[in-house]
Chains A and B, each alone.
Chain A
Amino acid sequence: MIAALAFYLFAAILIASAVMVVTARNPVHSVLFLILAFFNAAALFLIAGAEFLAMILVIVYVGAVAVLFLFVVMMLDIDFARLREGFQRYAPIGAIIGGILFLELVLVVGSWGFSSQANELRLAPNPGADVTNAEAIGRILYTDYVYLFQASGLVLLVAMIGAIVLTHRQREGTKRQNIAAQVYRTGSVALEKVPSGAGIATLGIRRPPEPEPEAPKVTHDTGHGHGGHH
């Protein structure tokens, strides 16, 4: 009873927030509703007994992907008046496309039915009582389908390298820091061991170092004139 109630609660919130993703005016609100939708999907996974998938959904989609979405969407500078400008003109085309999609959906859903094994397969993610969720997924991914898994990994790697190659620009005049050289340099900056409790004056360490004698500088400075001398 409680499980069924929880299922309907989470499912209702999931659908409502999915609708809000599309209808919300503010894109930041859209992303936040998307996150809410992810959460409810994770809760549905939990109810189905797939706790590993639920946690991975939260970690990957909410913890990483949606953060980047939000990151980008927050920096958009959107003029809402201009967004609504062409509504009248494009409404008929949008309505026609929407109508066609709706018709297709009706056709697809109309011919849809449960398979004869649906009842056994439904909500039974674990192959046995002694095998945990993570183990079951691991067996399928890394044992049964290991080559396909590796192949899809390679495809993703190629996509990642492609994205980096396409977007990376070598800009002129960029300064790079050589950390190793900086750490090992001596002379201008050096670490000194100071006994705690002693003042730096008693140890003879003074920072900044004593200024150079200023006598020869006077002839140079006459042209510039420092403020506040009057």
Chain B
Amino acid sequence: MDGFLASPIGILAITVAQTLALLVPVLIAVAYLTLAERKVLAAMQLRRGPNVVGPFGLLQPFADALKMLMKETIVPSGANRFLFILAPILLFMLAMIAWAVIPVQDGWAIADINVGILYLFAVSSLGVYGVIIAGWASNSKYAFLGALRSAAQMVSYEVSIGFVIVTVLLCVGSLNLTDVVRAQERVWFFIPLFPMFIIFFISALAETNRAPFDLPEGESELVAGFFVEYSSMSFALFFLGEYANMILMSALTTILFLGGWHPPMHVEPFIWVPGFVWFALKIALLLFVFIWVRATFPRYRYDQLMRLGWKVFLPFSLVWLVLTAAVLKLAGWLPA
């Protein structure tokens, strides 16, 4: 048995099993996040939300998925067929492959690579291609405008996300995500780096095109933005990709600032709970905030969005980065 597991085919089989063990719960989480969003929004707006399909509406996501599958896929006549189909697949695929490096518990990452954080940053910065290609290939004004907005928005907010990540890395001394979480055993980074935590979370909202930064799909002016022309399964892939990205950004925030799999305190009742449960609970908390923000804030105007990214977050995160570096150096806390 050990001989088989060490052979190339055995390694492949283990990796496939690990991938399924991670992605199936993620996909179920995506399905139930759509339900959770509708339920939470409904509660905040004094409504009931979906409550007909199954007990408490628990089967609603599956009903939605079936309905999506039954619809006809429509490709607009002037569209670039190949790219039109490619865009949603790309967006969904990127949201999935990023999970390869996420350490759900100590040593549970599928690929515990040295440059894990850079890999995540690279994958999240590629998400913009799905949006741009969709907008261009649709051959529609609204879709194209949405794509242009999205390109500008995602590139602007990536810069401050980069600085926030560098600040965290200064405190860790490694680009490995497992090391980032291990460094937070005693104190989670959101306490010493609180302003960066806020900036990172707001940038994550902008990066995932969520309210109040959902300008690329702003329905009041662009109908539905970059995915106006999509229907059926291709629309469903966009939808799932957006929610998978939300979960991914929450996972990244958890790893960088909320101590990953660590319990709040290393004392009796907390350490009985396994690490991946803490990880999931923290992600759920952040996802709740995502939905809460959507229910609370009106959409930003486009120039305000750009101003916030370039004139507020970028200088602030740069100053905080220099400050952190100076404090670490002068106090002698720099990790070896």
Q: Are B175 and A134 in contact (CB under 8 A)?
A: yes
Other-chain contact of A51, B113, B132, B303 (Cβ < 8 Å): B113
Q: Are A71 and B125 in contact (CB under 8 A)?
A: no
Secondary structure of the A contact surface, majority rule: helix
* B residues in contact with A32, CB < 8 Å: 83, 133
Alpha-carbon separation in the docked complex, A2 to B125 (Å): 29
Return the chain B residue nearest A74 by Cβ: B136
Which of A63, A133, A196 lies at the interface centre, i.e. has the most chain B CB atoms within 10 A of its CB?
A63
| B94 nearest CB across to chain A (Å) | 11
Alpha-carbon separation in the docked complex, A191 to B18 (Å): 51
Return the chain B residue nearest A58 by Cβ: B122
| A20 contacts partner chain B, Cβ-Cβ < 8 Å | no
Q: Are A56 and B125 in contact (CB under 8 A)?
A: no
Other-chain contact of B122, A35, A55, A132 (Cβ < 8 Å): A55
| B190 contacts partner chain A, Cβ-Cβ < 8 Å | no
Return the chain A residue nearest B118 by Cβ: A55
Other-chain contact of A67, B113, B128, B136 (Cβ < 8 Å): B128
Q: Are B118 and A28 in contact (CB under 8 A)?
A: no
Alpha-carbon separation in the docked complex, A196 to B122 (Å): 43
Alpha-carbon separation in the docked complex, A74 to B46 (Å): 44
| B79 contacts partner chain A, Cβ-Cβ < 8 Å | no
- 0/1 interface trace, chain A 1-44, chain B, CB 8 Å (1 if under): 01000000000000000000000000010001001000000000
Size bin of chain B's contact surface:
20 to 34
* B residues in contact with A35, CB < 8 Å: 129
Asked, given contacts A64-B155, A64-B158, A74-B132, whether A133 binds B114 with beta carbons under 8 Å apart, the answer is yes
Within 8 A of A (CB), among B217-250: none
Asked, given contacts A71-B151, A74-B144, A177-B303, whether A63 binds B115 with beta carbons under 8 Å apart, the answer is no
Return the chain B residue nearest A134 by Cβ: B175
Q: Are A59 and B121 in contact (CB under 8 A)?
A: yes
Alpha-carbon separation in the docked complex, A2 to B7 (Å): 13
Asked, given contacts A71-B132, A74-B144, A134-B175, whether A63 binds B126 with beta carbons under 8 Å apart, the answer is yes
* A residues in contact with B316, CB < 8 Å: none
Alpha-carbon separation in the docked complex, A179 to B289 (Å): 25
* B residues in contact with A177, CB < 8 Å: 303-304
Q: Are B132 and A68 in contact (CB under 8 A)?
A: no
Alpha-carbon separation in the docked complex, A56 to B119 (Å): 9
Asked, given contacts A28-B136, A74-B144, A177-B303, whether A67 binds B115 with beta carbons under 8 Å apart, the answer is no
| A78 nearest CB across to chain B (Å) | 13
Q: Are A63 and B158 in contact (CB under 8 A)?
A: yes
| A48 contacts partner chain B, Cβ-Cβ < 8 Å | no
Alpha-carbon separation in the docked complex, A177 to B128 (Å): 29
Alpha-carbon separation in the docked complex, A63 to B120 (Å): 12
* B residues in contact with A133, CB < 8 Å: 114-115
* A residues in contact with B8, CB < 8 Å: 2
Ordered by A's residue number, 18 sampled pairs between the chains whose C-beta atoms are within 8 Å are A28-B136, A32-B83, A32-B133, A51-B115, A52-B114, A52-B115, A52-B118, A55-B115, A55-B121, A59-B122, A63-B125, A63-B158, A64-B158, A71-B132, A71-B152, A74-B144, A75-B148, A196-B46
Across the A-B interface, give the 9 residue pairs with the lowest CB-CB distance, nearest first. Answer: A63-B125, A55-B118, A58-B122, A59-B122, A51-B115, A55-B115, A74-B136, A71-B151, A55-B122
> Which residues does B use to contact A, with CB under 8 Å?
8, 46, 83, 113-115, 118-119, 121-122, 125-126, 128-129, 132-133, 136, 144, 147-148, 151-152, 154-155, 158, 175, 303-304, 307
